[in-house]
Amino acid sequence: MNVREEQADILLIGGGAAGCYAALTLGEKHPELNVLLVDKANIKRSGCLAAGVNALNAYITPGHTPQDYVDYAKEDAAGIVREDLLLSMSEGLNDVTAKLEKLGLVIQKNPDGSYAARGWRNIKINGENIKPILAKAVLDQSNVNVRNHVNIVDYLVVDGKVCGAWGLDLKQEEIVLFIAKAVICATGGAAGLYQPNHPGTSRHKMWYSPFNTGAGYAMGLRAGAEMTTFEMRFIALRCKGTIAPTGTIAQGVGVPQVNSRGEKYQGKYGNTTAQRLWAVVRENLSGNGPCYLATRGISPEQAAALERAYLNMAPAQTLFWRESGLSPQEFDVEIEGSEPYVVGGHTASGYWIGADRSTTLAGLFAAGDVAGGCPQKYVTGAFVEGEIAAESAAKFAAEAAPKMDLTVIKDTISKQVQHFSGADTETPYTAERLEEAMQQAMDEYAGGIKSHYGYSESSLKIARRHIERLQGLSDNLRAADAYGMLKIFELRERLLVCQALLAHLAARKETRWPGFAEHLDYPEMRDEFKVFINSRLEQGEIKIIRRPLAAALEEAVS
C-alpha cells in the first residue's frame, strides 16, 4: 500500500458528537491552528447519532443547578464518578445547547420562549438531523479539514508523547500518517464485544453503533494510557426486537413498566438506570415475564406523536407498529435488555483524564464516550467535553512539535500492514468467525444476555482463556483490501478491550450495579470497593490500579 503523510497542529480522531464539537470550537476560537478531523466513515452521519436522537438528555432546567446533575449522576453510578469532571461538564450543558439551536437544531419551546422540558434534566427536540447540522458547521470552518473514510489504527508515539496517528484510507487504499502537535481522541466506546440480542440476520440491530469498536480504548491501552471503570458496563433497556429507545415512552408519555400479570414491579427494585434493567431481568427469571411498557389505552394523538418521534431516531419501531398491527394504543410495548457495552457517555468507562481532558499520555486528550469517570454525559455532555479538550489541546499545541524520524515509523507501519495483507490465508478462520467466537465466550462466561449479566471468578477465567486463544488466532488473519484489513483491526481492538474488561470485572469483587454487572461470588456492595478500578497494559498483561474516589485534580493524572 502507498503511504501518504499529512501534517496539522491538532489531529481529531473521530467525528461524532464530541469530535465534531471539538472541531467547531477550534474553528471558531482558534483560526490560527490547522486542524484535521479524521473519521472512519463520513461525519454527516457517523457515530452514535446516525439515525437521530430523541431528546437532549443532559440539560439544566430552570430551578436546577449543575451540582444537581452531579448529584444525580453520582447516585445513578452508586458513587463511582469523578465529581470534578461531572461538574465541569454540567456547567457547560446549557451553553452548548444554545449553540446547537443557533446552528439549526429544532428545540421545543414553551409559550414564554423557554425550552420545553421532558423531565428536570432533559428537553424535547427534533434530533433527526442533528448530525448533518453539526457536520455542516464543521465543514464551514476554514481552518478545519475533514478526512472521511480513514480509519485510524494507532497513535504515533515518540518518547512517550503522542505526536499523531496512522490509519487506512478505505477509499484510496492507502496508509496515511497524520503528524500533529496535539491529538484529541473521540472515537466512542465499544459495541460488539458480547453476543447481540439477534445474532443472525439482525446482529447489528443494537443500541450502540456497531461501528464503534473500542478503537480509542485499544489505541490508548497499546500506547500505555491509564483507563478507568471498564467494569461499569452499560446495558440498555429497549423495545423488544427493534432495540428502539424506551425513554420516549416511559418518560415522554409517562407510562409504567408492567409484567405479564399486569403488575407494576419497579418499586421493588429501585429506580436507577441499572435497577430499571435489573427489574426486567428479575421479573423474567421469576416467571413474570415478558415485561412491557403499559401503553395500552393511550390516545390516538399520543400514538401518532410516538410514531413520528420514533421516525426521527429509530424508524424500525414505527415500521414495526404499523407492520405487525401491534399499535401502542392497543397493545403494551414489550421490552428487553440489550447486550453489554463499554462506554463513557452513559456509564463511566474510558481514559483516566484530568480536568482539562488530558490523558496520562502527553499530547493526547480525550472527549465523549472514550473518556472515563464522567457518566450520563449523553450528547450535550460529549459536546462540552469536546469543547474542553479542544481548548486544552490548543494550549498544548503552542509548544513546538518534537522531531520524528519518519523513516523508521513508516517502515514499522508498512511491515504491520504487510503482515495482515494477502489474498491467500493459511488459516481456516476469518475475522467474522473469530468475532462470533469472542461474542459467544463473553456472553456465556463474562455476563452476557445468556447468563443474565452475571459472572463468577471461575467463569471469568474461562472467558480470559478464550480471549487469549482468539488473540493468537487473529494474528494469522489476512485481507486483500483496506476494508478487509479494517475488519481484522476491529476484531483485534475488541479482543484487547475484552481482555481489559475481564480484568476489571475480576478486580471489582462486589456487585455495585446489579443489572449492569453482577458478580455471583460477591452479590453485595462492599465498602472497600468505593474506589476506581483503573488499568494499564504492561507487556501484554492488564495491570490493575486502585485509585481513591476523591482524587484531587492534580492527582488524577499522576
Partner 1 sequence: MSIAIEKHKCVGCGRCTEVCPGNLLQMRNRKAAIRDVRDCWGCTACVKECPRKAIYYYLAADLGGRGGRLYAENNEKEIKWQMQWPDGSKEEIVTAKQEANQY
Residues in the site for partner 1, rule: CB under 8 A? Answer: 40-42, 44-47, 50-51, 54-55, 106-108, 116, 118, 124-129, 148-149, 170, 198, 200-206, 209-211, 241-242, 248-249, 251-253, 305-309, 311-313, 315-316, 318-320, 322-324, 483, 486
Nearer to partner 1, 162 or 309 (CB): 309
Smallest distance, Å, CB 212 to partner 1? 9
User: Three-state SS for 432?
Assistant: helix
CA dist., res. 26 & res. 529, Å (int): 40
Nearer to partner 1, 54 or 474 (CB): 54
- For residue 409, what is its C-alpha cell? 515509523
Q: How many helices (H) and strands (E) does the chain have?
A: 15, 21
CA dist., res. 26 & res. 534, Å (int): 31
Cβ neighbours of 425 (radius 10 Å) = 14
Nearer to partner 1, 42 or 558 (CB): 42
Smallest distance, Å, CB 510 to partner 1? 35
- For residue 464, what is its C-alpha cell? 480470559
Nearer to partner 1, 76 or 128 (CB): 128
One-letter amino acid for residue 250 of the chain? A
Smallest distance, Å, CB 44 to partner 1? 5
CA dist., res. 74 & res. 119, Å (int): 18
Smallest distance, Å, CB 26 to partner 1? 23
Nearer to partner 1, 142 or 201 (CB): 201
Nearer to partner 1, 46 or 228 (CB): 46
Smallest distance, Å, CB 222 to partner 1? 23
Smallest distance, Å, CB 86 to partner 1? 27
Q: Judge whether 163 and 180 are in contact, CB under 8 Å.
A: yes
Nearer to partner 1, 436 or 510 (CB): 436
Instruction: Please name the residues in contact with 381: beta carbons below 8 A apart, sequence gap of 6 or more.
Output: 58, 89, 90, 93, 345, 374
Smallest distance, Å, CB 541 to partner 1? 33
Radius of gyration, CA atoms only, the chain = 23
SS3 for 54-97, per residue? CEECCCCCCCCCHHHHHHHHHHHCCCCCCHHHHHHHHHHHHHHH
Question: DSSP code of 193?
Answer: S
Smallest distance, Å, CB 137 to partner 1? 17
Smallest distance, Å, CB 336 to partner 1? 12
Smallest distance, Å, CB 379 to partner 1? 14
Q: Judge whether 97 and 56 are in contact, CB under 8 Å.
A: yes
Q: Judge whether 350 and 373 are in contact, CB under 8 Å.
A: yes
The secondary structure element, H or E, covering residue 182 is strand 174-185
* 482-507 helix and 457-474 helix, angle to the nearest 10 degrees: 160
Nearer to partner 1, 206 or 280 (CB): 206
Nearer to partner 1, 33 or 133 (CB): 133
Q: Judge whether 231 and 504 are in contact, CB under 8 Å.
A: yes
Smallest distance, Å, CB 10 to partner 1? 24
- For residue 11, what is its C-alpha cell? 489531529
Nearer to partner 1, 124 or 282 (CB): 124
Please name the residue that has the C-alpha cell 411498557: 293
Nearer to partner 1, 80 or 486 (CB): 486
Please name the residue that has the C-alpha cell 480536568: 355
User: Three-state SS for 339?
Assistant: coil
Residue 160 burial (C-beta neighbours within 10 Å; 0-12, 13-18, 19+): exposed
